[in-house]
Chain A
């Protein structure tokens, strides 16, 4: 039990951020027209590409060959997620804008 309390105290900021972000995510997304489901999913897909920051950090202190190779691959994959995600979303939304005219 003490372990759990210790855990919560140690990570209290992170736990706060997690809980508030959950509510924020729900609040931001509610009442979306179904037309936008696909672009929204794709945009959210690009945002979780933020994991690339982690890949850069591990790559930044990688010292042996194995972690260099894995880190290199991780950064490439993360970039694919970010760049591909945002570009595909933009392509979809470009079409929505065109038909407004």
Chain B
């Protein structure tokens, strides 16, 4: 291998290395353009493909052209290619099937799961690189491991580990396998673990390197995993998407640490790009809910903090199916406000059927979509699009709110927190300040619900007790089915 000496410092050079570097530049450009295209509805799909093409290029060129400098100054290409290809095939097949088979309702937890895999990958890289690095520094008889390489390895392990454990907990929570643990004590335990984690990292950095003394890297990994769990455990309810987005940007930073470690520009740009755009996305999501990021992380959402709104003595009014059918048939404007309950019941197709049926009777039916309806911003749009609901029928929250005074009937299907008047009226409510769809302004409101249970944020909803509100209890799918046949028989 030649050395270019006309520069200020020597750089190893060969044609292969150049091709690899060019592929990384191309990949970085494709990542940026892909991300840019992803943020416009018309170009989003091709943006995703561009980024995927960049990734494929970077992976292939790494396998073909990457050279590692060995201790004796010689270079070696990628070994174990058979194993690497086998792992690539296994991962691709599982990833492909998991992504294709997952129900659209379960998509947020799937994203969380894939995010965790990336975090774990970053953490494993650090685990594998640490012993070799320590051996090298021990051989040079360095007095401490205070340098960029060790810092990148330790940060990669820490952030990757937290992201992995946190994403798994987030996955479990969204999949309703894990409940929330809310306790003020947990906040301090949390903080204690974070301090411990950083203290331990500093301890390793200032420690004299000793060959083979690798126990501390495993302790560090363990601490990161525990912190990831305690970090996500108390956060619940409507805040989950924010946490996933935050963990997503964490994994980006962890990947960038790998790029720093290997002086790999594709990893560095890709990782940092996701890290910063993920952070901005997280903040945008917080804004959509009118909450601050800090508030999401340390504030116990819902639960015991929700004082005020008593229950028990208030009664709700029910509406019979036939009354609801008549009311709907003789309306002019109907607005459906869908929530996660609709998605869980897989009732989006029936909604579309109702829309067509009422349309044939001259009733105009539209959908009012709250930005955080479903489990993630934009999730509900995806679900309704899956049921062939035309784009023009979907109204954003502001448009829906402006139109509500002229709306005859609002049907709330499986939504709760996004139509809660407490967000505007009750300063003590944990969702106070969150923009909501003001369904109580319409002439009639029909609320389809399985029971009087609270919403995902676990807050009482006064809407149910309002004079214009009527309840229609039952499973969203079955009720819609009955309602449709009732309307047909009129």
Contact = CB atoms under 8 A, between A and B. Distances in A.
Given A48-B252, A77-B118, A99-B388, A60 B38 contact: no
B88 to A, nearest CB: 5
B226 interface: no
Contacts of B273: 21, 24-25, 28, 44, 47
B255 A80 contact: no
A84 B96 contact: yes
A31 to B, nearest CB: 8
Contacts of A61: 68, 76, 78-79
Interface residues of B, number: 116
A21 B277 CA distance: 9
A51 B382 CA distance: 28
Contacts of A22: 272, 275-276
A21 B28 CA distance: 10
Interface string B185-196: 000000000000
Given A26-B280, A28-B32, A82-B55, A51 B125 contact: yes
Nearest to A67: B128
A41 B39 contact: no
Contacts of B111: 38, 41-42, 45, 85, 88
A81 B94 contact: no
A76 B114 CA distance: 11
A33 to B, nearest CB: 7
A43 B118 contact: no
Interface stretch (B293-301, B326-334, B371-379): B371-379
A49 B87 contact: no
A35 B376 CA distance: 10
Given A26-B280, A34-B371, A38-B376, A74 B41 contact: no
B91 A92 contact: no
Interface string B57-89: 011001100101000000011111101101110
Nearest to A94: B45
B77 to A, nearest CB: 7
B124 A55 contact: yes
Interface in B272-329: 272-281, 284-285, 288
Given A32-B281, A57-B62, A79-B87, 12 more contacts: A11-B260, A39-B378, A47-B55, A51-B271, A54-B258, A70-B127, A71-B83, A71-B128, A83-B96, A84-B110, A85-B114, A90-B49
Interface of A: 3, 7, 10-11, 14, 17-18, 21-26, 28-62, 67-68, 70-100
